[in-house]
Structure 1
Amino acid sequence: MKVLVADDSKMARKMLIKIFSDCREGQEDEILQAQNGEEAVNLYKENTFDVVFLDLTMPIMDGFHALKLIKEFDSNAKVIVVSADIQQGSMSQVREDGAIDFVKKPISDVKMKQILEKIK
């Protein structure tokens, strides 16, 4: 599985990748990382990803804008928003803009397994 993890926090990226890898133990995965929305969009345009984990609050370009651009580029993109911003308006907006799911940070292994089932 080819995965993009976009978050401005290196620690948040490491934690998400560890949980993802633990849930996919024994599987061959390629995981790329982006530090902001602009990097995420550029990487998405250069690669084919099975899933994108996207934070909302990032410098240069936030996750809201990155999500819109990724979905414009590929309407079938599977984007999971993983954010500490749990305001109802934010959750509604990203679902409206095409995110498959909205997950509160930090993501649990139970939730990760549910997401992996959903995107199969």
Structure 2
Amino acid sequence: MAINVTIADDSKMSRKSVMRALPDEWDVNIHEATNGKEAIVNYAQGLADVMFLDLTMPEMDGFQVLEHLHEIDAKSVVIVISADIQPYAQERVKQLGAASFIQKPLDPAQLKHVLHGVGLL
């Protein structure tokens, strides 16, 4: 059965980059969100078993999305993909329940390694 994946990033180019990096053997239905509010809506609609989340977005940033998901004890696996590589940012997303943090630009081999590491492949 296919896994519902939401890619949340305000950059269309970044969303497409994540889509292209997903392993061919991974059976997924891909959904997009252009801001944090859309990401939350996707989760509420059951479209985010896995969420790839940027930190810098309009409306609601990635930290706010993680805080919301943490508050409601969401069962989504969240992997943050961000250019914000500050140690504070990485520590904060882990505290809020992110399964992993990947630095932009996205490397497909690193993504596959992370997916194996969190038990999704």
Go from structure 1 to structure 2 and tell me whether the alpha carbon gap of 1:87 and 1:26 turns closer, same or farther (over 3 Å shift): closer
Distance in structure 2 (CA, Å) of the matches to 1:33 and 1:48: 9
Instruction: State the 1:27 CA deviation.
Output: 4.4
- Structure 2: which 5+ residue stretches go unaligned? none
Unaligned runs of 5+ in 1: none
- In the comparison of the two structures, how many residue pairs are matched? 117
Name the SS of the counterpart of 1:119 in structure 2: coil
Note if 1:8 corresponds to 2:10: yes
- 2-structure distance, mates of 1:76, 1:26: 23
Secondary structure of the structure 1 residue equivalent to 2:30:
strand
Identity score, percent:
41
Write out the 4+ residue segments of structure 1 that deviate beyond 3 Å after TM superposition.
none
CA distance in 2, matches of 1:110, 1:46: 30
After superposition, give the CA deviation of every residue in 1:51-98 in whole Å (9 maximum; x if it has no partner).
100000001100000111123234432100100010111111000111
Partner of 1:31, secondary structure, is strand
Query: 1:90-101, aligned counterparts within 5 Å?
Result: 90-101=89-100
37-46 or 68-77, which deviates more: 68-77
CA shift for structure 1 position 107: 1.6
The Cα RMSD (Å) is 1.4
More deviation, 36-45/66-75? 66-75
Residue type of the alignment partner of 2:111: M
Match of 1:66 in 2: 65
After TM superposition, the score normalised by the length of structure 2 is 0.89
SS at 1:52's partner residue? strand
